[in-house]
Chains A and B, each alone.
Chain A
């Protein structure tokens, strides 16, 4: 299957700082990328959908000004958690699909801890 690389795999940051998470498709062009969040003992919840070259579409209840998503190229999408707070501590996972491809490929996830 296709490879999606997510970086960093874990990060600890201070409250009030911003953290950027990268999601790269290594061997295909990702026309659409999805960002999920998973709190302990809960399932993955979709945060937003990003299409290359256009603004992301956020799910209800997700603050677009707090979770900035950029999908400037067909191989890279970034999620920036701005002014992070302890309640933002979670497991963030991206997935990507290519043109005409219905399967989604997942990155390895990023475990964010805000202290």
Chain B
């Protein structure tokens, strides 16, 4: 089983649509959870951290369910500029600060 597993995608949605990505992780010791976005041939950029209580940043909402080891990202009112690969990222747990495990990524294409 992969340490971090994401929806295979790709997702192809029209502008204005709502799209949801799911992710599961296997390391129960992980403490920090993130969604990154990566544009083609670029480094990943932090989109948002994910907290147990759920958190929202504008059109983006992230949820974490520790019991199920499940993470989600909801994007509302999709924009063309949201087209990218979305990476579910989990830390290694313990004192390995900054050591991250990446999911395989889900490609999102938002079309006019």
Interface contact B97-A102, CB-CB below 8 Å: yes
User: When chains A and B are docked, how far (Å) is the Cα of A1 from the Cα of B97?
Assistant: 17
User: When chains A and B are docked, how far (Å) is the Cα of A2 from the Cα of B90?
Assistant: 20
Chain A residues lying within 8 Å of B101, measured Cβ to Cβ, are: 46
Q: Is A67 an interface residue (CB 8 A)?
A: no
DSSP class of B's interface residues: helix, strand, loop or mixed?
loop
DSSP class of A's interface residues: helix, strand, loop or mixed?
strand
Chain B interface size band reads 10 to 19
- A43-B103, A102-B32 in contact; A32/B44 too (CB < 8 A)? no
Chain B residues lying within 8 Å of A101, measured Cβ to Cβ, are: 97-98
Residues 74-115 of chain A: 1 if any B CB is under 8 Å from the residue's CB, otherwise 0?
A: 000000000000000001010111000111101111010000
Q: How many chain A residues touch B (Cβ–Cβ < 8 Å)?
A: 25
20 CB contacts below 8 A, A to B, read: A1-B46, A6-B43, A32-B98, A32-B99, A34-B100, A36-B102, A43-B103, A44-B44, A44-B100, A44-B102, A45-B102, A46-B99, A46-B100, A49-B96, A91-B41, A96-B98, A102-B97, A102-B98, A103-B46, A111-B41
What residues make up the interface of A, taking CB atoms closer than 8 Å to B? 1, 6, 32, 34, 36, 42-46, 49, 91, 93, 95-97, 101-104, 106-109, 111
What residues make up the interface of B, taking CB atoms closer than 8 Å to A? 32, 41-46, 87, 91, 96-105
Additional A-B contacts beyond A43-B105, A44-B87, A103-B98 (14; CB < 8 A): A1-B46, A6-B43, A43-B104, A44-B100, A46-B99, A49-B96, A49-B99, A96-B98, A101-B97, A101-B98, A103-B46, A104-B100, A106-B43, A108-B43
